[in-house]
Structure 1
Amino acid sequence: MSMREAIAAYVHDGDTVSLEGFTHLIPTAAGHEIIRQGRRNLTVVRMTADIVVDQMLAGGCVSKLVSSFVGNSSAGSLGELRRRIEHKVPEPLEFEEYSHYGMVCRYLAGAQRLPFYPLRSYAGSGLTSVNDGIRKVVSPYPAPDGGEEHVYVVPPVNPDVTIVHAQRADRAGNTQIWGLTGIQAEAVFAAERAVVVVEEIVDDEVVRSDPNRTVIPAHAVDAVVVCPRGAHPSFAQGYYDRDNAFYRAWSHISKDSARLRGWLAEWVYGTRDHEEYVARLGEAFWADLAVGDAWSLPVNYGRRL
C-alpha cells in the first residue's frame, strides 16, 4: 500500500497506536501521515517518546501517551510534550510511565497473550507510586528461604495497530532488520494490525538467502509500505545516517509553540507525502547523510546435495 492508504485503512480515531524503533528506524513518515490525515484521540505507545511524538502532539492527534522515556534523544527537550504535562497547555496529556524494561515486558505479555509479566526492577522505584498499573503479586513458588516472595508485574499492551520501520521486506511482508534493533517484533505480535514501512521491497530470493535477518514474518503483517528515507531524522543502518543537526534544532523549534506549528505547516501539512518532504530537503542534504559500505561476510547455510 501507499502510506496514505495504509494509515487510512489501519489507523482510526481513538485507536491505541504503537510506534516502535529504538533510536534506529523510527517510523517518522508514518507519524507525519497520521498528522496529515487528522487522526484524533489516539493513545500512543512508544518505548522512547521522542520527536515524532512531539510532532503528533502538536498536530492534535494524541490524548494519552504510554512510554518509558521522553526526550529529544540526548539533544534536549520536547517542548510540546512539556507544555502538555507541566502546564496543561493547550490541553492536558494523560501520561502513563514505565521503565524501559517495563515496556519491554508489557509488549512480551501482549505478544504472548499473557495477563501480566513479572520483573524485579521496580523494587525501590518511585514509579510504583505514580502508576497503579505496576502491581505486586505473590509468587506461586516459595522463596529460597521457604517464605513468600513478592514480585512486581506489569499488564500486557495490545495496540490496535503497530507501525514499525525496517530496511527491507518482500512483497508478502517478511521483514528484515539489522543494526540496532528494539522491540519491533514483539510490538507487532502484540497488535491486532501491523503496518511495516520499509526502505525497499526486495525479491523473495533475497530474503530467503539470509533468513536469520527476518525479524517479522509475513503472517504478522497487514500492510507493507515502501517509503525511502522514512525514518528521518533517525537513521536506517546501511541506508542513511542520523541527522544530528535536526535533533539539535528540534529543541529550539519545539520550545516555541508558534514556531513548532510553523514547522508543521511547512514540512507536514505543506507536503503531500514523504516523497515531497524528501525532495524539498534536496539531494545535497541527503548526500551529507550518505553512508559508506560495510558489508557483512557471506554465510553458508548449507543445503542437501
Structure 2
Amino acid sequence: MTKLMTMKDAVARFVRDADLVVMEGFTHLIPFAAGHEIIRQRRRDLTLARLTPDLIYDQLIAAGCVRKMIFSWAGNPGVGPLHAFRRAVEQGRPHPLEIEEYTHFGMVLRFMAGASDLPFLPTRNYPGTDLTRVNPAFKKVRSPYSDEELWCVPALRPDVTIVHAQRADTDGNTQIWGLYGVQKEAAFASRRVIVSVEEVVEPSVIRSDPNRTLIPGVIVSAVVHEPFGAHPSFVQGAYDRDNDFYVKWDAISRDEATFKTYLDDWVYGLDDRAAYTGKMGARRGELQADRQMCAPVNYGF
C-alpha cells in the first residue's frame, strides 16, 4: 500500500499536540515545509528536539506551538541569535519555553541510544563542563570493564521525526546524498516518521543505487512529494541555500509585529508549499542547483 499523501494529511495524522517532534537536517535538508504545516494546523505544547535548531524552530516558537526545546546549539547560522527563542526564554513570550541542553555529540548519542533501543549511552564528552550541573538528565555510571566513572545521556525516543530528502519511493525507502546530519538515527529512534522529498521515484530507481538509501520504508509512516520543501536551506543537486533569506531573517525576527506579518504572509496565508514556491517568483529559479553528476558505479558481481 502506498504511503504517499499530502503534507496536510501527514501532519494531521501523525503530529499531535504535546508530541516530542524532531525535524532534523544539519544545514542541509531542513524540513521547513513540514514546520509551516505544523504552524498552520496550530499544534500546541510540542517538545522540539534537534542538534542545531535554526529558523524553523524560531518560527514554531513564535507561532505558539512549543513548550520545550531539547538541543545542543540554537541560532541563525552565520548571522546571530534566534530572537523568538530568546524572547520565549528570557521574557516568556508568547509562552515560557523550557530548555534542555547538550553538546552536539551528546544529542547524537541520545538518538543512537533511542535507535538501538538502549536506555542510555556513556561518553567521555562532559568532564569540565557546567552542562552536567544545570541539566539533571546527565548521570554517572561505573564501567564494568575498567572500573572508571563515565557520564551518560538518556535515550531520546521522539513521537515523530520529520526528514526532508532528495528522493523516495511510495513505500518510503528514502535516499539522501550530500551533507548528513542524524536523520537516520532520529528516524530509527522514532515511533512515527514523515519523509518529504523533492522527487518520488519508482522502486527500481532505489534498488539500482541501494547505498544511498538512508531510511528504509519499513519505518516510514508517510511520504510527501514536496519540491522546494527545505527552502531556505538547501538540497544537494536541487537548489542552493538562500543566504539572503537567512540575513533578512535577523530583522524579521527581532520585531514581534514584523514576525507576525511574516507568518501571516508566508505561512497562515498560504494553503501549501506549492503556493509558497509560487510566491517566491523568480527567486526559485535563481537558487536552482548546477548539474555536477557523479561517475556511475558497477554493482555487478
Whether contact under 8 Å (1:238, 1:291) holds in the other structure is yes
Match of 1:254 in 2: 253
1:132 matches 2:130: no
Match of 2:197 in 1: 198
Match of 2:300 in 1: 302
Whether contact under 8 Å (1:76, 1:248) holds in the other structure is no
Match of 1:285 in 2: 283
Paired with 1:188 and 1:241, the residues of 2 have a C-alpha distance of: 25
Match of 1:14 in 2: 18
Unaligned ranges ≥5, structure 2: none
Secondary structure at 1:69's aligned position in 2?
Answer: coil
1:3 matches 2:7: yes
Match of 1:31 in 2: 35
1:225 matches 2:229: no
Secondary structure at 1:48's aligned position in 2?
Answer: coil
Match of 1:44 in 2: 48
**How far off its partner does 1:64 sit?**
0.4
* Cα-Cα RMSD: 0.8
1:68 matches 2:72: yes
Secondary structure at 2:9's aligned position in 1?
Answer: helix
Q: Deviations over 1:84-135 (max 9, x none)?
A: 1122223210000010000000000000110101111111111111111111
Secondary structure at 1:199's aligned position in 2?
Answer: strand
1:185 matches 2:184: yes
Paired with 1:277 and 1:96, the residues of 2 have a C-alpha distance of: 33
Whether contact under 8 Å (2:53, 2:73) holds in the other structure is yes
Paired with 1:255 and 1:155, the residues of 2 have a C-alpha distance of: 35
Task: Normalising by structure 1, report the TM-score.
Answer: 0.96
Whether contact under 8 Å (1:75, 1:247) holds in the other structure is yes
**How far off its partner does 1:40 sit?**
0.3
Whether contact under 8 Å (2:174, 2:215) holds in the other structure is yes
Paired with 1:202 and 1:219, the residues of 2 have a C-alpha distance of: 17
Paired with 1:165 and 1:260, the residues of 2 have a C-alpha distance of: 25
Task: Normalising by structure 2, report the TM-score.
Answer: 0.97
**How far off its partner does 1:77 sit?**
1.5
Whether contact under 8 Å (1:176, 1:215) holds in the other structure is yes
Amino acid at match of 1:239: A
Paired with 2:21 and 2:92, the residues of 1 have a C-alpha distance of: 22
Match of 2:94 in 1: 90
Secondary structure at 1:17's aligned position in 2?
Answer: strand
Whether contact under 8 Å (2:64, 2:95) holds in the other structure is no
Unaligned ranges ≥5, structure 1: 143-147
Paired with 2:218 and 2:284, the residues of 1 have a C-alpha distance of: 34
**How far off its partner does 1:75 sit?**
1.6
Match of 1:214 in 2: 213
Secondary structure at 1:268's aligned position in 2?
Answer: helix
**How far off its partner does 1:140 sit?**
1.0
Q: Deviations over 1:133-178 (max 9, x none)?
A: 1111111112xxxxx3111100001111110100000111110000
Secondary structure at 1:49's aligned position in 2?
Answer: coil
Q: Deviations over 1:56-79 (max 9, x none)?
A: 011111000001110001222111
Paired with 2:198 and 2:79, the residues of 1 have a C-alpha distance of: 26
Paired with 2:51 and 2:181, the residues of 1 have a C-alpha distance of: 9
Paired with 2:289 and 2:95, the residues of 1 have a C-alpha distance of: 41
Match of 1:234 in 2: 233
Paired with 1:184 and 1:173, the residues of 2 have a C-alpha distance of: 14
Q: Deviations over 1:168-199 (max 9, x none)?
A: 00111110000001100110010001000100
Whether contact under 8 Å (1:48, 1:69) holds in the other structure is yes
Whether contact under 8 Å (2:62, 2:94) holds in the other structure is no
Q: Deviations over 1:223-242 (max 9, x none)?
A: 10000000000000000000
Paired with 2:95 and 2:240, the residues of 1 have a C-alpha distance of: 35
Q: Deviations over 1:19-77 (max 9, x none)?
A: 10110000000000000000000001111110000000111110000011100012221
User: Percent same amino acid at aligned positions?
Assistant: 55
How many residues get paired? 297
Match of 1:159 in 2: 158
1:149 matches 2:142: no
Paired with 1:171 and 1:80, the residues of 2 have a C-alpha distance of: 37
